[in-house]
């Protein structure tokens, strides 16, 4: 049968978003395989409470979780406790990539006592530049309605805040949530920089 469309010559153009997604999937898969390999070889031994394990002689992995206030579902440390520990140990730098910031009641126009954990994290982050610790934040370019008070407070304390315009670069949003402290300690998780992620979900 005849072909009605003219032939396409040259290399097809692939969207940059697909390439970025592929790279992120490969990185996730490699991380997963390294952890599984260490577990199968017996390099990762549970700690006394079952929440920590070591991977070799120089690092440890800790599972943390966010449990809504008023619920007790295990002995793992909370995300809030892990964030506080990372901030307390920081001596040189804290780098955070996140989608958005709503750590205070003012951001969400609420009066919830459980926002205290998010407010504490923001206060600790604001103290770091005064201790000589560089704070750098990459956040998805905020919409016109997005609260910016937390980011402005961080900037006024000496933090470097950069909005990443992912729709222009690759499409989508910066949905990553990770912290890198002193180039050594890493938090990767699903909790947004939102007090509700610490105490409500």
CATH number at residue 157: 3.30.870.10
- How many angstroms separate the CA atoms of 94 and 88, rounded? 11
- Report yes or no on 145 lying in a domain: yes
The per-residue pLDDT string of the chain (201 residues; one tens digit each, 9 = 90 and over) reads 444 444 444 445 556 677 777 777 777 777 777 776 666 665 444 444 444 555 556 778 889 988 888 887 777 889 999 999 999 999 999 999 999 999 999 999 999 999 999 999 999 999 999 999 999 999 988 877 788 899 999 999 999 999 988 888 888 878 889 999 999 999 998 899 999 999 998
Residue 7 pLDDT: 47
- Report yes or no on 151 lying in a domain: yes
- How many angstroms separate the CA atoms of 37 and 34, rounded? 5
- Report yes or no on 50 lying in a domain: no
Question: How would you classify residue 84: left for phi > 0, otherwise alpha for psi between -120 and 50, otherwise beta?
Answer: alpha
- Report yes or no on 34 lying in a domain: no
The partner residues of 61 in beta bridges, in order of sequence, read 53
Nearest of 134, 167, 139, 164 to residue 151 by alpha carbon: 139
- Report yes or no on 182 lying in a domain: yes
- Report yes or no on 192 lying in a domain: yes
Q: DSSP assignment of 170-186, as one string? A: TSS-----EEEETTTEE
186: domain range?
Answer: 90-199
- How many angstroms separate the CA atoms of 90 and 131, rounded? 9
Q: Buried b / exposed e across 122-147, counting CB within 10 Å, b at 16+?
A: bebbbebbeeebebebbbbeeeeebb
- How many angstroms separate the CA atoms of 186 and 55, rounded? 14
Total domain count, the chain? 1
Residue 50 pLDDT: 46
- Report yes or no on 144 lying in a domain: yes
- Report yes or no on 125 lying in a domain: yes
């Amino acid at each position: 049968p005849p072909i009605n469309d003219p032939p396409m010559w040259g290399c097809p153009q692939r969207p940059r978003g697909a390439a970025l997604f592929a790279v992120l999937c490969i990185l996730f898969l490699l991380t997963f395989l390294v952890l599984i390999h260490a577990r199968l070889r017996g390099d990762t031994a549970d700690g006394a409470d079952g929440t920590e394990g070591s991977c070799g002689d120089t690092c440890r992995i800790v599972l943390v979780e966010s449990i809504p206030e008023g619920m007790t579902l295990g002995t793992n440390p909370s995300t809030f406790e892990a964030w506080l520990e990372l901030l307390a140990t920081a001596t040189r730098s804290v780098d955070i990539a996140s989608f958005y910031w709503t750590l205070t009641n003012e951001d969400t126009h609420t009066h919830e006592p459980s926002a205290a954990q998010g407010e504490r994290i923001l206060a600790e982050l604001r103290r770091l530049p005064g201790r000589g610790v560089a704070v750098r934040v990459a956040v998805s370019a905020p919409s016109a309605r997005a609260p910016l008070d937390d980011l402005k407070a961080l900037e006024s304390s000496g933090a470097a805040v950069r909005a990443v315009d992912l729709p222009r670069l690759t499409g989508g949003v910066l949905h990553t949530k990770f912290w890198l402290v002193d180039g050594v300690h890493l938090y990767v998780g699903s909790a947004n920089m939102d007090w509700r992620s610490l105490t409500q979900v």
